[in-house]
Structure 1
Amino acid sequence: MTRHAAWKPFGTVRARLTLLYTGLFLVTSTILLIVVNLLLTSALESRVSSVVEDFPPFGELPAPRAPGAPGCPGCLVRPEVVDTMNALSGAVLRYQWTVSAIVIAVLTVVSVAAGWWLAGRMLSPLRHITATAHRLSLSNLHERIALAGPRDELTDLADTFDAMLERLERSVDSQRRFIANAAHELRTPLAVQRAAIQIGLDDPLPARLIPVREKLLTANRRTERLIDSLLLLAQAEHGPDSMEPVALDALIRQTVEETAADGAVMGVVITSDTRPVAVAGDPVLLGRLLTNLLQNAVRYNRPGGTVHVGLTEAGVLTVRNTGPDVPAERIAELFQPFRRLHSRTRSADGAGLGLSIVASIARAHHAALAARPNPGGGLELTVRFPVPSTGTEPGNRRAP
C-alpha cells in the first residue's frame, strides 16, 4: 500500500488539523470533567458523612449541649434516613457523570465542526497559492499570487513563489529571445549556402559533381527543416500568445487537401469524417499539429494503405493509419524529441520531432493526447480538445 493510499481517509491537511483540534479538545475536556467529578464525589461523600456523624445513633440520647450550640439536641436519626442520604448522594453522582458524558459527546460534534471551519479559514491562503500554481504555465508566467493579508508564514511563502516566478519569467523571455536570434542567424547562412550551391554548381557540371550537389542541397534542406522544427517546438512549449475560436473541422479539411498530394505519391488514400467544432487556440499551431499528424500517418504507412481522420462534436480528433506493427510498450518513445521506435533518428526524411511537436502543441491547448497500436498494424492517435459549453455559432467561427 502506498503512502497516499494509506492516508486516503484523512489525506488532506484540513482533515488532519480537524482531527488534531478535536483530539486535543477531547483530551483536555475529558480530563477536566473527570477531575471535577472526582472532586465533587469526594466533597459530597465527606459532607454526607459529617452530617450523619452530627446525629446520635437511633435509640441513644444525645449529650447535653449548651444553648445556642450547633447541632440538633434531642434529634435521633433512623437507619433508613442514612440509607436515603447515601442513595441520594449516589444518584447525584450518577446524574453528574451522565450529564458529563452527554456534554462531552455534544462538544465533540461542535469541536469537529468548529475545527473544520477553523482549519478551512487557516488554509484558505494556501488553497489560493495552490490554485494559482496549477493555473500557471509558460504562457501566463506574468501572473502573480499576490497574497493579501497580515504578514505571516503563508504570505512569506506566496512572496517567495512570486519572486521565483519573476526569475523564471525573465529566464523564459531570455530563452525565447535567444532561440529567435539563433534561428535568424542560422537561417541566413543556410539560405546563402543553398543559393551558392544552386547557382555556383549550376549546369553544366561534370558528372562526378552532380551527386555532390544533390547531397549538399539535401543536407541544406534537412538542416533548415530541423531549425524550423526546433523553433516551432520551442514556441509550442511556450504556448500560444493569444487564444481565439478556431473552426477545427475547416482546418482539418484544409490540411487533408494539402497532404493528399504526398499521400498520392505513396499510394496512400486519405479520408475524413468531421463534425463542426470550434476550439480555442492558435490557428497556426493547431494547423501544424494537424500537418504533423497527417504527415506522420502518411510517411509511416505501407503502399496502398489508408489514413482516416475523424472529428466528433465533443472535440475528439482521431488519426488512424495502416502500416507496420507498433509495439505498445514503445509508443511513449514516439513523443520524445529525436526518438523513434528503435533508435535515435539520423535519417534525411525527418528530424524525429513531429510527434513531440504534436505533444507540445496539445499540452499548450490543454488537450489530452493518446496513442494505441491498431490490431492490423499502424497507429491510432487521439487528441481530445476541451470544447466550450457555449459554443460559437458555425457562421461566426473563424476559419484559419
Structure 2
Amino acid sequence: MKLRTRLTAWYAGVFLIAGIALVGLNYWLLADWFPPADGVAVASQGAVARTVPMDRLQTLDVATLPMDAVVMTATAVKIDVMSTVLWQSAIALVVAAVLAVWLGWVVAGRVLAPLHEITTTAHRLEATRLDQRIELDGPPDELKELADTFDGMLDRLASSFDSQKRFVANASHELRTPLAVQRTLIEVALADPKATDETRRLGAHLLDTNERSEKLIDGLLVLARSDRGLTTRELVWLDEVVEDEVESCAALASEKKVTFAVRTRRYLVDGDPVLLAQLVGNLLRNAVLYNEPGGSVSIMLDQELTVTNTGPTVPAQAVPGLFEPFRRLRDRTGTAGSGLGLSIVQSVAKAHQGSVKARPNGGGGLVVQVNLPETGVRQAS
C-alpha cells in the first residue's frame, strides 16, 4: 500500500473514531433528558403536527383530537427522540467521513509532493547523468532538509565520478606515449640484420604484448569517454555503421574461419558516430574472437541490433558478469581480447539512452541485443 493511501486511511480512521465518540457523547447526554410531563398528546393538523403536554390539561377530551392523534408516554417520546437523533447522526457521520477521506487524500498528496519530486529525480539519475537536482522550494521543514541533503549528496557523487573519469582518461593518455616508444624500439631492434632468431622471437612476443596493452588503453579511453556522456550529437545511419564494421572485421573473420550473415534495414540514430562504431565493432569482434572454426555470426538490425554467434556454451549465470570490465569466461582468457568489449558496448548504449541485454545461444555462443532509440526522421524514398 502506498504511503498516500496509508495516510488517507489514518486521517479517515482518526476522524471516524472522533465522530463516533462525539455521537456517543451526544447520545449519552440525551439519555439523561426527560420530557416535562408524564405524557403528551400528539396530533396533526393537515401537514402541521402539534403536541399538547398533559400536565397543562386536567382532562383530555379525546373527541376533540383528530382521528390520527396518538397519546404517548414520556418514555416513548424519549425513545423516539433518541432514535431519531441516532440515525440522523449516523447519516451525518457517513457523509462527513466521505468528505474526510477526500480531504485526507488531497492533503496527503500535497504533503507528499516533495517526496514525489525526490523520487522522480532519483529515477532520472544514473552514473552518466548526475546533473539533476531537486532544488525544493518551501519552508525549512523536514522535507526541505531531506531534499537539500539529497542535493548535497549528488554534488559529492558528481564530483567523485568526474574525478574518477578524468583520472582514467589522463592515465590512459599518459600510458600511450611510452607504449609507442617501446613499439618503435622493438621494431628497430627487429629490423637489425644481425638480430638472432631468439631476439626475433622475443621481439615478436614483445610486440604482441605491446599491441594488447595499446588495445587495453584504447578501450579504457573509449569507456571513459562514453561514461562522460555525449557532448555533441548528430544523425547517424546505424545500418551503414554495421556494414562498415562488418567490412572491417572481414579479415579477422577470415582468419578465424567465421562467416557473417547480415540483415539490416534503414535505422537512424541521434548520437556520436565514433562511439556507435565502437559499439558495433566491439560486438562483432567479440562474436568472432569467442567463436569456433567454421562458426558463424548473425547480425540483424530491425527493432534492435541483435548479434548472435556460435561457440562454446555460456552458462546463464555467467552472462551478467560479462558486462563488467575485465570479466571473461575462464575458457576465453586465451583470446586477444582485453575484457572491455561488452563493458564498452553497455556504456555507449547508456550514453545514447539505450540498453543492452544478453542471453546464451541455444547450442553454444551468445545472443546480444542492443536497443537504441530510433529517431522519427526517415530518408526520402
TM-score where L is the length of structure 1? 0.83
> Which of residues 389, 392, 396 in structure 1 aligns to 2:377?
392
Aligned to 1:51: 37
Q: Residues 64-213 of structure 1 correspond to what in structure 2 (within 5 A)?
A: 75-76=58-59, 83-204=72-193, 205-213=195-203
Aligned to 2:247: 257
> Which of residues 280, 299, 316 in structure 2 aligns to 1:290?
280
Q: Secondary structure at the match of 2:337?
A: coil
Is 1:377 paired with 2:377? no
Q: Secondary structure at the match of 1:208?
A: helix
CA distance in 1, matches of 2:189, 2:254: 34
Report the Cα offset of residue 212 of structure 1: 0.8
CA distance in 2, matches of 1:247, 1:358: 18
Aligned to 1:68: none
Residues 55-87 of structure 1 deviation map (CA, whole Å, 9 limit, x = unaligned): xxxxxxxxxxxxxxxx95772579x97744433
Q: Residues 351-362 of structure 1 correspond to what in structure 2 (within 5 A)?
A: 351-362=338-349
Query: Does the CA contact (< 8 Å) of 1:301 and 1:378 recur in 2?
Result: yes
Letter in 1 for 2:251: A
Q: Secondary structure at the match of 1:318?
A: strand
Report the Cα offset of residue 359 of structure 1: 2.1
The 1:395–1:53 alpha-carbon spacing in structure 2 relative to 1, beyond 3 Å, is closer
Report the Cα offset of residue 171 of structure 1: 2.1
Residues 243-284 of structure 1 deviation map (CA, whole Å, 9 limit, x = unaligned): 443322221122112112211222211121112222333222
Q: Secondary structure at the match of 2:319?
A: helix
Query: Does the CA contact (< 8 Å) of 1:335 and 1:359 recur in 2?
Result: yes
Q: Secondary structure at the match of 2:313?
A: coil
Which runs of 5 or more residues in structure 1 are unaligned? 1-9, 55-70
The 1:348–1:265 alpha-carbon spacing in structure 2 relative to 1, beyond 3 Å, is closer
Is 1:221 paired with 2:211? yes
Query: Does the CA contact (< 8 Å) of 1:222 and 1:348 recur in 2?
Result: no
CA distance in 1, matches of 2:131, 2:57: 97
CA distance in 2, matches of 1:253, 1:363: 22
CA distance in 1, matches of 2:232, 2:78: 81
Aligned to 1:327: 315
CA distance in 2, matches of 1:346, 1:103: 78
Letter in 1 for 2:135: A
Letter in 1 for 2:340: L
Is 1:238 paired with 2:228? yes
After the TM superposition, list the runs of 4 or more consecutive aligned residues in structure 1 that deviate by more than 6 angstroms.
none
Letter in 1 for 2:306: T
Report the Cα offset of residue 375 of structure 1: 2.1
TM-score where L is the length of structure 2? 0.87
Query: Does the CA contact (< 8 Å) of 2:169 and 2:220 recur in 1?
Result: no
Report the Cα offset of residue 354 of structure 1: 1.0
The 1:186–1:72 alpha-carbon spacing in structure 2 relative to 1, beyond 3 Å, is closer
Report the Cα offset of residue 374 of structure 1: 2.2
